Structure 1
Amino acid sequence: MIGSVRHLSGAAQPVQVVVFQMHHLVLLTSRTSADLAILLMLFVFFDNCMTSRYLLLSKLAPDSTSYMNVAKALQKLDDCELILKFVRELLEITHHRDPTVMNRIIFATAQYGHIDKSLVIFEELKKYQTSLDVVTFNTVLDMLGKAGRVDEMLHEVKLMEELGHFPDIVTYNTLTNCLRRLGRLDLCKRFFGEMLERGIAPDLRTYTALIDSFGRSGHITDALEMFQKMKKSHQPSVYVYRALISNLKKAGQFELAEKLTEDMSSSASELIGPEDFKPKNKGRRFRKNG
């Protein structure tokens, strides 16, 4: 059953929206890019919202599906000015809150493979420093690192501190993990040293990334020393054992690899497994539908 019909002014063509009882939207006449800019706002306000059209204005947090729908709509926008218009309108609505909404839009957009569009949003946020926090930078660092864009990632780390946002454990783990995959042991060691100098204690993820980075680079002795150091303060995980064993085999250290395999098997019930690495707050995870 149709609840109401609304017309939106200010577009190249009138946009007629039909709102059903369950608050789903059907866009009847939107075809132009200008209409899509308005549709982006509609996604945030309406999609999967079972309460009211003023989702953000009423301080009710959009769910992950709403953010992914915004990301889908951004796929269809090639005009940066329209994206920026959307960002500015959204910032006006959320100016009195923390940057969570924009952070999740950046994340969701990158999840759909549109890193450059995420960066367009990020660059606009830099003009409004109150709309940035450490999470914003961590999100951008992660997407740049995974894309292999190391120089840009290092630039943003430097800028992060210049703007008064100091790295936390998530920042350092993000950097180390991305650099590990790219074989940049030199930078992994640099950020690990910086982390210790600032009094930030490494966690299991930090150690796992460093041990694997040493092993991949053929520095087996350093990897084993780091492994022993980790065991003094953290219960080893299945992942770190597997990474170390794999790297030992690649280095021809089969006897030592076998010894570690036996050690892993004998303490299997005590090892940190996949379930321990899952976020406790599942509502903050984003997945692609389908």
Structure 2
Amino acid sequence: MSLYQLTIYRNLLHYSYANRIASIPVGNSQIWPLYAIKCFSHQSSSTNISPDEVKVGDEVLNQIIAPRENASNCSHEIVDACIDKICRLGHLAAAAQLLKSLCNEKISLNSSKAYDMVLLAASERGDTPLLCQVFKVAVVSCKSLSSASYMSFARAFTKTNDSSKLLECVKEIVEVTSQNCSVINRIIFAFSKCREIDKAFQIFNQMKCLSCTPDLYTYNIVLDMLGRAGRVNEILHLFVSMKDEGIAPDIVSYNTLINSLRKL
């Protein structure tokens, strides 16, 4: 896509949002929410969009709304720009629906930047239901979700004491990721970085009930978390339980245990 086309597309965004759109309606998944931008820009009475600009805007939208066989050619820069604009206006539900539509069309983004923006905005707003919805789509769509997204997930739940919502969200994440232990490991690590030890430990204890058995990395994360908090008795108990579960401690496990005991 040329710089000129991208400029026109951004102008269309500017014109449509200048009319203070309350929400972006979602229609046919083959068209998805960005089509609304074109509709609103056509309806604008305060702007002077030339026919040529509208034509170029349509071409840009058509490139984004690519057939499945050309889905890999989706312009990720435009998606990121659109998501950024929507988030700045506070229309997080529309941003979430847009990302979900991309996922439904099996269009993968090159990076997690778009998801990072929506998750950060949802976290700052304290909108945990929307955050969970977007996070589930993100872990399915992105090959590697950034640490920033995991931190946004954890910080959102630091503002609430409702553990049931957190555990329910974790359960749904385990289901959509087919018991992918690495995703839950990174969630636990994010909570430990936020010093939400009790919440991290709740997730760890729930893993066994969800057919997502903790692995060596899970135990090492929890050992380190408990060690930094000075909860030595729990470390000793957890270290013994590793062997009971048939998981052999490695050099990281032993170093964590030794360093924690040394602090006594």
Q: Same fold (TM over 0.5)?
A: yes
Measured against aligned partners, the alpha-carbon deviations of 1:164-185 in whole angstroms (never above 9, x if no partner) come to: 2111011110011111111111
Please state if 1:57 is matched with 2:102.
Answer: no
Percent identity between matched residues is 20
Give the superposition deviation at 1:67.
3.8
Q: Distance in 2 between matches of 1:100 and 1:214?
A: 42
2:145 maps to what in 1?
A: 104
Of the three residues 171, 182, 190, the one matched with 1:126 is 171
For 1:131-146, list aligned pairs within 5 A: 131-132=176-177, 133=179, 134-146=181-193
Give the superposition deviation at 1:128.
6.5
2:215 maps to what in 1?
A: 168
Of the three residues 22, 45, 55, the one matched with 1:12 is 22
Give the superposition deviation at 1:101.
4.4
Please state if 1:73 is matched with 2:160.
Answer: no
Measured against aligned partners, the alpha-carbon deviations of 1:130-168 in whole angstroms (never above 9, x if no partner) come to: 225322332232223333333333322221111221110
Q: Distance in 2 between matches of 1:117 and 1:103?
A: 22
1:245 maps to what in 2?
A: none
For 1:1-290, list aligned pairs within 5 A: 1-2=4-5, 12-14=22-24, 16=37, 23=78, 25-26=81-82, 33=90, 35-42=91-98, 44=99, 54=102, 57-58=105-106, 60=108, 62-75=110-123, 77-83=125-131, 86=134, 90=137, 99=140, 101=142, 104=145, 107-112=147-152, 115-117=155-157, 123-127=168-172, 129-132=174-177, 133=179, 134-217=181-264
Aligned residues: 198
Give the aligned CA root-mean-square deviation in angstroms: 4.1
Q: Distance in 2 between matches of 1:66 and 1:81?
A: 18
- Structure 1 length-normalised TM: 0.52
Of residues 197-206 and 141-150 in structure 1, the stretch that sits farther from structure 2 once superposed is 141-150
Q: Distance in 2 between matches of 1:144 and 1:123?
A: 16
Gaps of 5+ in 1: 46-52, 218-290
Amino acid at match of 2:37: Q
SS at match of 1:60: coil
In structure 2, relative to structure 1, the CA distance for the partners of 1:130 and 1:82 (3 Å cut) is: closer
Give the superposition deviation at 1:81.
4.5
In structure 2, relative to structure 1, the CA distance for the partners of 1:82 and 1:65 (3 Å cut) is: closer
Q: Distance in 2 between matches of 1:193 and 1:37?
A: 46
Structure number with higher helix proportion? 2
Structure number with higher strand proportion? 1
Q: Distance in 1 between matches of 2:143 and 2:155?
A: 14
Q: Distance in 2 between matches of 1:115 and 1:29?
A: 22
Amino acid at match of 1:162: C
- Structure 2 length-normalised TM: 0.57
Q: Distance in 2 between matches of 1:159 and 1:29?
A: 35
In structure 2, relative to structure 1, the CA distance for the partners of 1:181 and 1:87 (3 Å cut) is: closer
Measured against aligned partners, the alpha-carbon deviations of 1:88-137 in whole angstroms (never above 9, x if no partner) come to: 7x3xxx8xxx85749837x5334358523598676335247522532233
